[in-house]
Amino acid sequence: MKRFYITIYKKRVIDYSLHPVLIEVLWILNIQFSKEACPPYYFMYKNGCIMYIYLNPQYVIRNENNCSYIIAKSALITAKLEYAMAFASVVPPSIGYILSHIGEGELNASIENIANTLNIKSDLIDKFIRKIIDNPVKVGWNYKGVTISFPPYLLTSVKEESEGSVYTDNELFYTTDFIPKRPSVPLNLNFMITTQCRTDCMYCYADRNRKNDLTSWQIIKVIDEAHDMGGESGFDRR
């Protein structure tokens, strides 16, 4: 194990100076993950079937200049992620790029394409991916006063190709330095299009006496504005 860590450190100094934060992330992950937290990894096949690795639809990746974000959707998709509903974390842009593109086709091809773009060795990306595929626990650490975390089951292995929710406001975001900051747009939008509701929730803040519902044109206009501000793909009328 010591030899492995020394090798990573040497590569970090000599070969990968363009992405020091990324290498530190990989180095820390290799220390923090235990065997119990890492289920068997299937590089291409699982039970005789080709497996694809993709971003869990429970999460959204938002990429901005200097910072990327992992955000849990407000709608619960699977009960085993109930405790991750309020999850949100900042990550370096290079990590955001990996998470945004790892599901583009077959795993080997995705890793090679990402490695070529980030100008790092594909085996480092492979080591990172191995640590978070089907991982049932949240892991994280403190980086210069900022907590960086990866939620449970962030990446999932499946038999069919799929697409996660990714928003990127600058295609070259991964070239910027890691500067933790608040997102430039709201993470969630609660949109109530009518007050005509058959339930009477005691905690509801809506004025049920108001009857001036939005028109179809107004609803579409709000959706368009949310999408233009950087809302996730669900706001795209296409």
The tens digit of pLDDT for each residue in 96-155 reads 999 988 877 677 888 899 999 988 888 888 888 888 888 888 888 887 788 888 988 888
Q: Are 192 and 206 in contact (CB under 8 A)?
A: yes
Tell me the domain boundaries of the chain: 2-175, 189-238
Q: Looking at 41-50, 97-106, 166-175, 219-228, which range is the least confident one?
A: 41-50
d(CA 99, CA 97): 6
Task: Give the model's pLDDT for residue 23.
Answer: 57
Q: Compute the average pLDDT of residues 64-73.
A: 89
Task: Give the model's pLDDT for residue 144.
Answer: 76
Is-above-0.75 flag for pTM? no
142-171, pLDDT tens digit by residue?
877 888 889 888 888 776 665 667 777 778
> Which residues, 6 or more positions from 211, have their beta carbon under 8 angstroms from its beta carbon?
195
Token digits of residue 95:
């990590």
Identify the sign of the CA torsion 206, 207, 211, 216: negative
User: What are residue 16's phi and psi, to 5 degrees?
Assistant: -125, 40
Task: Give the model's pLDDT for residue 32.
Answer: 46
Residue 157 is inside which H or E element, if any?
strand 155-158
Share of the chain above pLDDT 90, in %: 6
Q: How far out from the chain centre does Cα 45 lie?
A: 24
d(CA 116, CA 110): 10
Residue of 238 and 90 predicted with greater confidence: 90
